[in-house]
Every structure is written in structure tokens, then in C-alpha cells.
Amino acid sequence: MRLTHWLSALALLILTMSGMQIFNAHAALYASDASDFAHPALAIGGGMDSRGDPKGFVQFGSRRISTTHVLGWGPNGYGEEGPRAFPAWATMPPQQDLANGRRWHIAFAWIFVLCGLTFAPWALRLWPSRADMRALPHALRTHLLPWKVAPSAQQNPLQKLTYFGLVFIVVPIAILSGLALAPAVDSWAHWLPAIFGGRQFARIWHFAAMITIIVFFVGHVVMVALTGLVNNMRSMITGWLVVPQSAAAGGVVRPSAADEPAAKVPALS
């Protein structure tokens, strides 16, 4: 599972970058089954303005936010800038290339799903128990200041709920809404695009799932860093985590606990 953790992290990176490549081919989302070209829910666009200056923007409904040089107008992968939704450094392949973006995306979708299956035994233990819900207010109070937390081999309720949301809500939405974009899948399962509000709406769900996963990723990395980068990385690579002895024994983790003699315990795997 440690191997598949890193492999799925790589798969998510490639899925995000190749997904942005695919999005660039038609940089607009519609809250419907077919596209209502005049009324996108979200669009990224760009070009020259009346003064001949490059402009890039993100459009939500009728509101436009200027994003020149990053979104809508930015690096095109040939050492210059041009009209382009997501910039070359964020897409895979960097240059505009829908065909190969699709190949990377579909290949790593398979790899991600196969890796995900190896997480099943761990994932089943994420189902929140009553004790978790009871412990939640306490966890909220203590964990909003993350630097007060010592490393622990146990998951706290907040962590558990976050992983639960990711594994049982966000990732299934990402996979199912992605499948709903495939006409051959839709002809087997008419209900699939329907549960997302239609095929174009499924693109919104797919996009939103990506954003949520990016937010999780940032939070995940910040948490790993704040709770002890070296120790956490060691546990993620070797499977062993160093924790204060009182925590290993199941005691309450206090900030001062970090001063106590350390013990090695198997990390969650």
C-alpha cells in the first residue's frame, strides 16, 4: 500500500495535468446535458483587447476575472505566450495536444483505479464510528492549531472524516463523472450522465472533483510537513513512525509529550 500510495499520487498528478490539457480543447463548462454555447457556467478565454494587449480571463456566469499570463493567455509550450486556458507548465503534454492528453488521462485513470483498489482494506476502516463523532468537537478544538499536535500512529476523527470524504465521496464522483463523459459508457448506462444532471454537467462535477482533490493535496502536504516532515516521510516510505511513548500506549497526546522517550510503532498501512 505504501507503493500504491506513491503510485496513485503520481497518477493524480498526471490525471490533473492531462485533464487540463483536455479541458483546453474546449475551455467551457455548461450546467446542462448539451452545451448552451452562449451561457457557459465557467469559461476560460483570452485574446488581444482593443489596444492590442493580451488579455486572459476566467468567466463565472457573466463575471470576468482577469488572469492574464496564467489562465486564458499564457505560455503555450513553444517558448512564447498565446491564447490558452491552462498554461503549458500545467498541462500534459505541455504543447496543445488533445490526442495525447487523452491517452495519458485514460491510461492513468486505469492505474489510479487499480491502485485505489489496494486501499480497500484501509478505506473500510474509515467509516466513521459513533466514538469518532463524539470525539469530533474535542478534535476540532485541539487540531485547529496543528503545530500543537504530536505525531500519532492513530488517526484522529478529523483526519478520518477528511479521508472518508475523499475516498467515499470525492473520488467516486471523479470516477463516475469521468465515465459519464464517454458516449460508449452512456449507451450502456443512460442513468450515469443523468445522475450528474447531464453530460456537460458531469464535466462540471469532474472539474469540481479535481479542484477538491487539489485542495486536499495541499492540505495533506501541509499537514505532513507540520506534523514532522522527516518522521512522516520515513513512515510513508519505510512503514515505521516514531511516536512519543505515551501516545504509543494510547495515552492523551500533550504538546510536552514530544519530550518523552520515543518509541517506534508501525505506521498506518
Partner 1 sequence: MKRVTFISIAGSTLLTGCSGFVTSLNDNATVRKALEVPERLNTALLSHGHPLAREYAESAISPDFRQNGFDPPSSAEYGRWSATGWAGYRLVVSGLVDSPRSYDLAALRHKFPRRSQITRHDCVEGWSVIGKWTGVRLTDVLQDCIPKPQAGFVVFHCLDDDGTATRYYESLNMEQAAHPQALLAYELNDRPVPLKNGAPLRLKVPTQLGYKSAKYVNHIEVVARLGGHNGKGGYWEDRDYEWFAGI
Residues that bind partner 1 (CB under 8 A): 17, 22-23, 25-26, 28, 30, 33-35, 37, 77, 88-89, 92-95, 97-100, 102-104, 106-107, 109-110, 181-188, 190, 199-200, 203
**Grid cell locating 243:** 511516536
* CB of 181 vs partner 1, minimal distance in Å: 8
> Nearest distance from residue 16's CB to partner 1, in Å?
13
Q: Which is nearer to partner 1, 18 or 152 (CB)?
A: 18
Q: How far apart are CA 137 and CA 162, in angstroms?
A: 15
Rounded to an integer, what distance in angstroms lies between the CA atom of residue 159 and that of residue 18? 29
Q: Toward partner 1, which CB reaches closer, 26 or 64? A: 26
Whichever of 111 and 268 has its CB closer to partner 1, that residue is 111
Cβ at position 100, least distance to partner 1 in Å: 6
34 vs 145, which CB is nearer to partner 1? 34
Query: Would you say 183 or 250 has its CB closer to partner 1?
Result: 183
> In the complex, what is the shortest distance from the CB of residue 4 to partner 1, in angstroms, rounded to a whole number?
17
Our CB check for partner 1 shows the closer of 102 and 234 to be 102
Max alpha carbon distance in the chain (Å)? 69
Instruction: Mention every residue, 6+ apart, whose C-beta is less than 8 A from residue 95.
Output: 76, 77, 78, 88
Smallest separation, CB 191 to partner 1 (Å) = 10
Instruction: Work out how close the CB of 102 gets to partner 1 at its nearest, in angstroms, rounded to a whole number.
Output: 7
Measured from the CB atom, the residue of 37 and 127 that comes closer to partner 1 is 37
We find the least distance from the C-beta atom of residue 177 to partner 1, in angstroms, to be: 13
